Structure 1
Amino acid sequence: DFQFQVIDVLANVLDDVSKYKNFLDAFKRLNLELENLKAQKAESLKELDYNSFLLQELEAISLQPGDLETLEEEYETLNNIEEINEHLTVAHQLLSDEQTGVLNVLTQLKSHAQKLAAFSGKYQELFERIASTSIELDDLYSEVEAFVEALEANPNRLEEVSAKLEVLNNLLKKHSVGTIEELIEIREALKTSVSFTENLDETIALKEREITEMANQLDSIAGVIHKKRTDAIPGLVSALKNLLETLGMPQSQFKIEVVLSEDYYVNG
């Protein structure tokens, strides 16, 4: 190292050597990254087929947040449609019966309360409360009527919903989670993993191109350093001979060579 330091000072290549060392550090880092990528590829390829299969399963069912709750509610409605229809029909009759229906009774009650309000202001609040209740019951009747009209048995849809629920519950069990949102997270993670693995060859090729470019820069700066060192050696040899002659050793011989190597060393 000391010999190189002497030559480098005479050759005026200290800045070039510093630049070379920076390139060499980057070159080593890129090679380490390449090794890691290749190791990742080898490991990822082992799981690619299985992860792709899991991803296809999750994508096939088109998961959306809230799907499970929506399907379970629809299933309960379709699977119990006769009982639901029975209760809605009774509710509709209780509200609308011409003789004993709540709406008819409340209409009569409101009429009497309105007449009471005409006699004294203290009955006005009673009338207003009954009138408000009447409005609310009218809305309630309209809603019940809409439910009755919308209710329709659909065996095909029931079978479809039942099948989808079975698939969803199997997937929840398979992935050991309890919600659709968690399944969606798993799907997105699998998508990222599969995409990463499938694109590894391209990533590796890009890293290899970076390494080639860095090697070219190293070769270029190393060539500059080598030439400057080679050019400086004759002057160094001459100076050493003169020094030895003054010390009484005129027959001394020196030979200094800087040999090119295919390997990259820390000093160039």
Structure 2
Amino acid sequence: MLKQLYIRNFTLIERLDMTFNGGFSVITGETGAGKSIILGAIGLLKGQRADSKLIKRGSEKCVIEAHFNLSRYGMENFFNDNDVEYDADDCIVRREITAAGKSRAFVNDTPVPLSVLKELGEQLIDVHSQHQNLLLGKQDFQMEIVDIIADDKDLLDNYRKAYGDYREKQCQLDDLQERLTSNKANADFLLFQYEELDRANLVEGEQETLEAQANQMSHYEDIKTALYQADKAMSAEGTGVTENLRTAINALHSIEGVLPMAGELASRMDADFIDLKDIADELEGQLDKVDFDPKELDSINDRLDRIYSLQKKYHCDTVSQLIEIRDNLKKQLDGIENGDYDLQQVKNEVDKSMKLAIQKADSITKVRKTAAKKIEEEIKQRLVALGMPNIQFTINLESSELSADGADKVAYMFSANRNMPMQPVAQVASGGEIARLMLSLKAMVSGAVKLPTIIFDEIDTGVSGKIAEKMADIMCEMGNNERQVISITHLPQIAAKGATHYKVYKEDRGDTTVSTMKLLCGEDRVNEIAQMLSGSDITEAAISNARELLKMKSEE
């Protein structure tokens, strides 16, 4: 529950530090006194969007901090999952906003992203404001109430896994059908393309080999001339390198008996002679092989033209890419041929997954119907006690197509009069009737969900007198059930029922106006309730009436 709320430099609040108690508390104050400001601050602790305009004029930063006691609510796993220190007796949630527009959030002094703050805030405080009454006409909200009372979270989780598997397989089926339809429509064209590439008898690396051969043939004269000149320089009679080197070697060997070093030089030249003779022989062989066949060049160029043409047509640059395209076309053609079989296989998987999802959805429907009956009975009892003796209320659950929430659609049907047919609640219920119905639903939900703190923001709109007292009794009941309930109210009948009473008011400080809040006790509380009864001019009758209301509270 909320133990303490600290606010500094937030709109009209300069500094506020309030301690809260468990059970049922009330907050009162004139319109515009600043109750909505306090709710706005709590909203920031719940992860709502921050705006630097909310900072009190002239301040650099606003701080909102709340302390919670979580010892009864088993929330340790949340803190462990988010790597935040857990303190069940004193959980500190803080939000800071700077004039520069920066916002920071902390839980137990650990910085956390806004998403974590929002998730935690939803588990700590439920703020029910007037605009939330509009949710009563929304099917999502109506179904959420049924699911909470049905306690079907595990069933829903299991169903959603099965439903997700079904949707995934259905998408696979849709994609396959689309591909097959498209491929069948283009089957003739695909076959033409495949056969064209297949007839080309493409070979990896042939383009590079053919281009090298074509390049050599186009330089035939240059190659022939160069080889002839090299061969002549190496082997020509009388002037060739090898013949002259052989002559030099023989001359040196002839004098090696008288000049030993001549023999060493001759030996070294022998090795060079062998290498040069090999080179000369290879040159001669290459010269004999060099030949030019115009027909062969034409054939090579024709093959290259065929390859280039295919590359241009299929928008690629290599023979490897053409081969890949050919192979992919073959796969598509094989897929068309085997498509009906593959399609049937996927259809079988879709049918199987759909049957499983339907089976799990049926289980959810059963528990929802049981919960709907329970809600109907309790809501009727509560609304009769809240001054609606002829209430008719039914929850219609009808079958629908599979969705993420099951196979049901829900409608809350309502009539406040015995002789009037029931219609959707949002269409026929008045503001006061909706307020009473929402309070009754919240009371039911609070018994099923361990929510530490519930704040009602003027849920009593449209009611008065004895009905207001009955609504206060319900909030007291909720507050006595191990939770904290705070009601912001303009009704003295409700204000008098609070175990603790706070007042929000404005006061002038110098040239500024600030909002603040204080705990009311004794005569201060009597005067506040008397003012709510009679207005600004407090009469003795109002004072007496206020005392009587507070006395009734103390006697309960």
Match of 1:237 in 2: 376
TM-score where L is the length of structure 2: 0.37
Q: 2:322 aligns with which of 186, 192, 196?
A: 186
> What amino acid maps onto 1:65 in structure 2?
G
Distance 1:73 1:8 in 2: 79
- Contact between 1:34 and 1:204, CA under 8 Å: does it hold in 2? yes
Match of 2:106 in 1: none
Q: 1:10 aligns with which of 149, 153, 176?
A: 149
Match of 2:259 in 1: 120
Distance 1:70 1:121 in 2: 56
Task: For 1:222-261, list aligned pairs within 5 A.
Answer: 222-247=361-386, 252-261=391-400
Q: Does 1:69 align with 2:209?
A: yes
> CA offsets, 1:126-165, max 9 Å, x none?
424531331013323543565588x59998xx86785354
Q: Give the direction of change, closer, same or farther, for the CA distance of 1:193–1:108 in structure 2 (3 Å limit).
A: same
| Structure with the largest fraction of strand | 2
- Contact between 1:230 and 1:258, CA under 8 Å: does it hold in 2? yes
* Partner SS state of residue 327, structure 2: helix
Q: Give the direction of change, closer, same or farther, for the CA distance of 1:160–1:4 in structure 2 (3 Å limit).
A: same
> What amino acid maps onto 2:204 in structure 1?
Q
* Partner SS state of residue 258, structure 1: strand
Distance 1:68 1:230 in 2: 76
Deviation of 1:176 after TM superposition, in Å, equals 3.2
Distance 2:379 2:277 in 1: 116
Q: Give the direction of change, closer, same or farther, for the CA distance of 1:48–1:112 in structure 2 (3 Å limit).
A: farther
Deviation of 1:52 after TM superposition, in Å, equals 4.2
Q: 2:274 aligns with which of 135, 142, 145?
A: 135
Deviation of 1:65 after TM superposition, in Å, equals 1.2
Distance 1:169 1:55 in 2: 19
CA RMSD of the aligned region, Å? 4.5
- Contact between 2:194 and 2:329, CA under 8 Å: does it hold in 1? no
> CA offsets, 1:99-136, max 9 Å, x none?
88765554333211223444435545642453133101
| Structure with the largest fraction of helix | 1
Distance 1:9 1:239 in 2: 15
Question: Number of matched residues?
Answer: 259
- Contact between 2:190 and 2:333, CA under 8 Å: does it hold in 1? no
Distance 2:395 2:307 in 1: 75
Q: Does 1:195 align with 2:326?
A: no
- Contact between 1:48 and 1:194, CA under 8 Å: does it hold in 2? no
* Partner SS state of residue 256, structure 1: strand
> What amino acid maps onto 1:11 in structure 2?
A
Match of 1:20 in 2: 159
* Identity within the alignment, %: 18
Q: 1:172 aligns with which of 300, 304, 308?
A: 308
Deviation of 1:225 after TM superposition, in Å, equals 0.5
> What amino acid maps onto 2:250 in structure 1?
S
Deviation of 1:21 after TM superposition, in Å, equals 3.5
- Contact between 2:207 and 2:319, CA under 8 Å: does it hold in 1? no
Which of 112-121 and 202-211 deviates more?
202-211
Distance 2:187 2:261 in 1: 80
TM-score where L is the length of structure 1: 0.68
> What amino acid maps onto 2:361 in structure 1?
A
> What amino acid maps onto 2:249 in structure 1?
K
Distance 1:135 1:115 in 2: 20
- Contact between 2:150 and 2:371, CA under 8 Å: does it hold in 1? yes
Distance 1:113 1:54 in 2: 74
Distance 2:391 2:404 in 1: 32
> What amino acid maps onto 2:159 in structure 1?
Y
Q: Does 1:267 align with 2:421?
A: no
> What amino acid maps onto 1:112 in structure 2?
A
Deviation of 1:191 after TM superposition, in Å, equals 1.7
Distance 2:268 2:187 in 1: 69
Deviation of 1:223 after TM superposition, in Å, equals 0.7
Unaligned stretches of 5+ residues in structure 2 = 1-139, 407-556
Task: For 1:98-109, list aligned pairs within 5 A.
Answer: 103=242, 105-109=244-248
Q: 1:163 aligns with which of 295, 299, 305?
A: 299
Deviation of 1:95 after TM superposition, in Å, equals 3.6
Distance 1:110 1:181 in 2: 57
Unaligned stretches of 5+ residues in structure 1 = none
Distance 1:118 1:53 in 2: 84
> What amino acid maps onto 1:73 in structure 2?
Q
Deviation of 1:166 after TM superposition, in Å, equals 1.1
Q: Does 1:215 align with 2:351?
A: no
Distance 1:14 1:175 in 2: 59
